[in-house]
Chains A and B, each alone.
Chain A
Amino acid sequence: MYDIIIIGGGAAGLSAAKEAYDPDLNILIIEREAKLGGILKQCIHNGFGIHKFNLELTGPEFAEKTADGIADLDIEVMLETTVTDIIQFKTFDLTVMNEAHGEFHLEAKSVIIATGCYEKTRSQILLPGDRPAGIMTAGSAQRYLNIDGYMVGKKVFILGSGDIGLIMARRMTLEGADVLGVAELMPYSNGLTRNIAQCLDDYDIPLYLSHTITNIVGKERLEQIVIQEVDPHFQPIAGTEKTFDVDTLLLSVGLVPDIQMFESLKFAVSPVTKGAIVDQHLQTSVDGLFACGNALHVHDLVDWVAEESERAGRYAKMYVQGTLDTHRQEDVIPGDNVRYVLPHRYDFDSADDSVKFALRSTLKAAKGTFKITQGETLIMHKKARHIAPAEMEHIVVPKEKMVSNAPITISLEVT
């Protein structure tokens, strides 16, 4: 019997493990790959760790530094092992598989979901046209190139301006591919602004905002794509067709928390984030089940993944030690211009000195004010600049500012 099993050995799982650690607890990390680090292993570019380590690290360096953080602790790690199902009676029963032992079961008092996210594929965005080879997610291409050493194509177009798409535009260019452009359905990019500058502008790669792909042509291998401008209702505008001769189309059209394997547990899931609904302890609607990192909601910076996951680890430890109060009473509501707020629920009585909220706006604005209200009472406000849906905001509300036991609404007023 383990006290805590952490599923996923990436930035989230490793950070959670470090804070969950206690010499008296049995902790296990289950990782499906042969090396710890998760997706960071293939994110070879730099820009990680500025907030957490005050250093600008590459992905593999951040991963290694985080893994080093638990190396000297008595935490068990199972590599090349996959969890296929989890059920809960009094404790959690995990169905697990690996090559050495086949299928077996593990039992835990608490489980932390740190399984990261997956990329949306062609079938999830209903791209029209032929179905040739040469169409894949940007993250798959990144793995082929940076871990396995394969170039996936020579003439490339990218749909979606998420960060992975932008990073891959530069990466493929550096490796000798001709990247003809990036199309984005929205009138703004979903990637960090610095990535537009250093990945597209530096290499004169055009960004087609308010554009989508309306045809794909190719028998065996991709031969051609057609893009079209869209109107404010995202309908293609006739006469704006542009054709590109390409052999590869990379998709960077969104990430979704990867929590399918937890279906049997039937915890509440947010229709907006597609991750679990959690309280301020990052505990899901199932007692003892915690979630953090990209498996909870998709982050733009790993620094925030690590910070959030450390909290999840800390609270899971308190749970198994019997010191975590779990009331989860009041809702946290996204107000005007706010797409979502985490945690979704909070409990005033068991709150620490403050509660940290993570949120995303629905719109892009140069300036604005986040307003935190309880009922009609404005309890706090925070000014922000360069607000964008792609850039997560954090607001820490001190407990003394909160009115006990009333729902909290966070809204954005654009000025």
Chain B
Amino acid sequence: MAKREMICIVCPVGCHLSVDEETLEVTGNRCPRGAKYGKKELTNPTRMLTSTVKTNATLQRRVSIKTSDEIPKGKIFEIMDELNTIDAQVPVKSGDILLKNVCDTGVDIVATTSLDR
């Protein structure tokens, strides 16, 4: 039976996973999160996306952001384009939602930096 070899990206340990393409059975994982990741990579691969957006802050010229949850891997570049519409106004607090339901993914864009000026 064909197996897909991959490196787990859930945490920095980087387990070497082997996923059965038919039964979706995962081996080589050291924790349950690895099994979940291996399965998902073959069915619906998703990623966290981090980037920066425009701001009127002067302390630094960009505000770092993340997606509130993982997004489909295929939508990464579409979301990157959508991020260009955001202009974060100070004060920005880490955890602030800057854009809701980005590209109809059900996922929000969240600030990860606090800037008060």
Q: Which residues of A contact B (CB under 8 A)?
A: 34-35, 41, 44-47, 50, 56, 58-61, 64, 145-149, 174-175, 192-194, 196-198, 202, 300-301, 386
Contacts and interface: CB of A to CB of B under 8 A. Distances in A.
A92 B12 CA distance: 39
A198 B62 contact: no
Which of B15, B59, B60: most chain A Cβ within 10 A? Answer: B60
A149 B94 contact: no
A192 B14 contact: yes
B14 A61 contact: no
Interface string B47-88: 111111010000111101110000001001100100000000
A61 B112 contact: yes
Given A46-B50, A194-B11, A61 B94 contact: yes
A386 B16 contact: yes
A379 B48 CA distance: 44
Contacts, number: 86
B62 A197 contact: no
A194 B47 CA distance: 13
B12 A197 contact: no
Which of B12, B52, B54 has the most CB atoms of chain A within a 10 A radius of its CB? B12
B7 interface: yes
Contact of A147 (B6, B16, B49, B62): B62
Contacts of B50: 44-46, 58
Contacts of A148: 60-62
Given A145-B52, A146-B64, A149-B62, A192 B47 contact: no
A33 to B, nearest CB: 10
A194 B7 CA distance: 6
B8 interface: yes
A301 B12 contact: yes
| Size band of the interface chain B makes with A | 20 to 34
Interface of B: 6-16, 47-52, 54, 59-62, 64-66, 73, 76-77, 80, 94, 112-114
A42 to B, nearest CB: 8
A274 B86 CA distance: 43
A56 B69 CA distance: 11
Nearest to A50: B11
User: Across chains A and B, which 6 residue pairs bring their CB atoms closest together, nearest first?
Assistant: A193-B14, A44-B64, A149-B61, A197-B7, A194-B14, A194-B9
Contact of A60 (B7, B15, B64): B64
Given A60-B64, A194-B8, 8 more contacts: A35-B59, A44-B64, A59-B64, A60-B112, A149-B62, A194-B9, A194-B12, A197-B14
Contacts of B14: 192-194, 197, 386
Contacts of A60: 64, 94, 112-113
A241 B11 CA distance: 36
Taking each of A60, A197, A301, which has the highest tally of chain B beta carbons within 10 Å of its own beta carbon?
A: A60
B114 to A, nearest CB: 6
A64 B99 CA distance: 22
Contacts of A196: 7
Nearest to B73: A202
Contact of B113 (A41, A47, A197): A41
A41 B61 CA distance: 12
B66 A58 contact: yes
A96 to B, nearest CB: 22
5 contacts: A46-B48, A46-B66, A64-B94, A192-B12, A386-B15
Given A60-B94, A147-B61, A174 B11 contact: no
A60 B93 CA distance: 11
Contacts of A198: 9, 47
B26 to A, nearest CB: 15
Contacts of A175: 51, 80
A46 B49 CA distance: 9
A147 B112 CA distance: 13
B92 to A, nearest CB: 11
B61 to A, nearest CB: 4
B109 to A, nearest CB: 13
A145 B50 CA distance: 13
Nearest to B94: A64
A75 B19 CA distance: 51
B80 A174 contact: yes
A300 B12 contact: yes
